[in-house]
């Protein structure tokens, strides 16, 4: 298997609900053609170097995947058909990619992200659950009385 990277520029005027199907189609196509989707990294809206379809900006995304030449051809065919895609470019990252090594690295990264998220959630829960006995037992200070009106401020009279 070869490892590829595709940069896709989607129409920036589309909302998230209209942009999502473009990336969902990619997520479905890659496994259908026997490939492995490593990552879809959405960079967001950016200024273009030159106008494309009379637009100054574009929504960028990077698709990192492993597959064959047939997969790349089918992805690019889908991009040509889809009017939401303004430009795309695919480059070969690795001629002979190690699929097992990439999958292990993906699993390790996922496990690391989960292990980092778990202590932070536990600390937050512990901070919220800590008894505040000292503060609760202390008597609350009495509220200050409202300031009296001075001679420069007119007093309101009941009508």
Task: Name which residue leads in pLDDT, 88 or 136.
Answer: 88
Task: Name which residue leads in pLDDT, 21 or 126.
Answer: 21
- The ranges assigned to domains in the chain are 2-99
pTM score above 0.85: no
Q: What is the rounded average pLDDT for all residues in the chain?
A: 82
Segment 26-33 mean pLDDT: 93
The CATH fold of domain 2-99:
Alpha-Beta Plaits (3.30.70)
Per-residue pLDDT reduced to its tens digit, 138-150:
555 666 666 665 5
Please give, one letter per residue, the 3-state secondary structure of the chain: CEEEEEEEEECCCCCHHHHHHHHHHHHHHHHHCCCEEEEEEEEEEEEEEEEECCEEEEEEEEEEEEECHHHHHHHHHHHHHCCCEEEEEEEEEECCCCHHHHHHHHHHHHHHHHHHHHHHHHHHHHHHHCCCHHHHHCCCCCCCCCCCCCCCCCCCCCC
Segment 148-153 mean pLDDT: 58
Segment 132-141 mean pLDDT: 53
Per-residue pLDDT reduced to its tens digit, 57-69:
999 999 999 999 8
């Amino acid at each position: 298997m070869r490892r590829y990277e595709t940069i896709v520029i989607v129409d920036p005027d589309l909302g998230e609900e209209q942009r999502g199907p473009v990336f969902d189609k990619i997520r479905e196509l890659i496994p259908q053609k026997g490939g492995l989707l490593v990552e879809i990294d959405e960079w967001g809206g950016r200024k273009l170097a030159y106008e494309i379809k009379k637009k100054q900006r574009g929504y960028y995304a990077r698709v990192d995947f492993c597959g064959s030449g047939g997969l790349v051809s089918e992805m690019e065919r889908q991009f040509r058909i889809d009017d939401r895609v303004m430009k795309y470019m695919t480059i070969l990252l690795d001629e002979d990619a190690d699929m097992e090594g990439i999958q292990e690295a993906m699993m390790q990264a996922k496990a690391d992200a989960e292990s980092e998220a778990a202590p932070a959630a536990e600390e937050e829960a512990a901070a919220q659950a800590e008894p505040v006995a000292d503060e609760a037992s202390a008597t609350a200070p009495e509220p200050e009385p409202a300031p009296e009106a001075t001679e420069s401020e007119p007093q309101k009279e009941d009508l």
